[in-house]
Amino acid sequence: MDSKLSIKPIDPADRLILALDVPNADDARALVKQMGDAVQFYKIGLELCMAGGYFELLDWLVSQNKKVFVDLKFFDVPETVRSAVRSLANCGATFATVHGNQSIMEAAGKDKGDLKILAVTALTSLDRGDLDDLGFACDVEKLVLSRARRALEAGCDGIVSSGLEAPMIRSELGQRIMVVTPGIRPVENKPDDDQKRTVDVAQAFRNGADYIVMGRPIRQANDPRAAAQAVQTTIQQVFSA
C-alpha cells in the first residue's frame, strides 16, 4: 500500500464530501434526496448561509443521518471565533473551517467539543500570481506547509489543502494531521474554471488526502447520482488495492 495513503479508520463511503453550493436550502434538500445513499457527507458554505435557512438545513441533514461540513472559514477576533465555534459545537456538524493566524486557530480549538476544526492553508483557486497580489513572498508549497504545521501546533484537527501539496504534508507531518482536499477534477480544467491547483480523485487519495470535496463535477453531470457513485467506486478501488 502507498505510504501516503490515509490509514485513518474512515468508512470509504464517507471520504467523498459533496459541496452543496446551490442557490437555496430547497435546492440543497432536493439534491440530497436525489443522491440517496450515494453520498453520506455534505459541505454547506457561504452561498447557502446567505440564502437563509442555513441551520435548519444543517439540522435536516443530521436528521437524515448525513455528516455535515460547515465551511464558513471563521476569521475574526479570536474570542469571537471561539464563541462562534462554541455555538456550533452542539449542532451536530462534523467539520468546520477556520482561517487566520495562530491565535485564531487556537481559539477555535478551545470549545469545539466533538467538532473537528480544519484550518484553511491556501485556497485551491489561488496560484503563485494570486499570492503575489496578496503579499505572500513565498512559494505556495512553503506557505501550505507552514500553515499545516501551525494548525497542528494550535490544536486543529486537520487542514484544507490542495492534493498537489498533500504529498509534502504527509512526508513532513505523517498521518498525525487530517487532510481534506477540494479542487477535485476528473479531467483537465476548463478555461473558465476558478480552481487552479487541482488533481483527480485517485491521485488526491494517493497523494495523502483523507477526504475529498467535490461540487460541480458531480452536480453538473448529466446524472449526478451516477457521477457520485462512480467517484465512490474509484475510492473503493484505491483503498482496496
Which residues are bridge partners to 54 per DSSP? none
| Angstrom distance (rounded) from CA 224 to CA 227 | 5
How far apart are alpha carbons 193 and 204 in whole angstroms?
Answer: 18
CA–CA gap between residue 84 and residue 68 (Å, rounded): 17
Owner of C-alpha cell 436528521: 63
Annotation marks residue 66 as catalytic: no
* Count, residues in the chain: 241
Beta carbons of 208 and 5 less than 8 angstroms apart: yes
Q: Which of 4, 43, 73, 142 is catalytic?
A: 73
Active site residues: 73
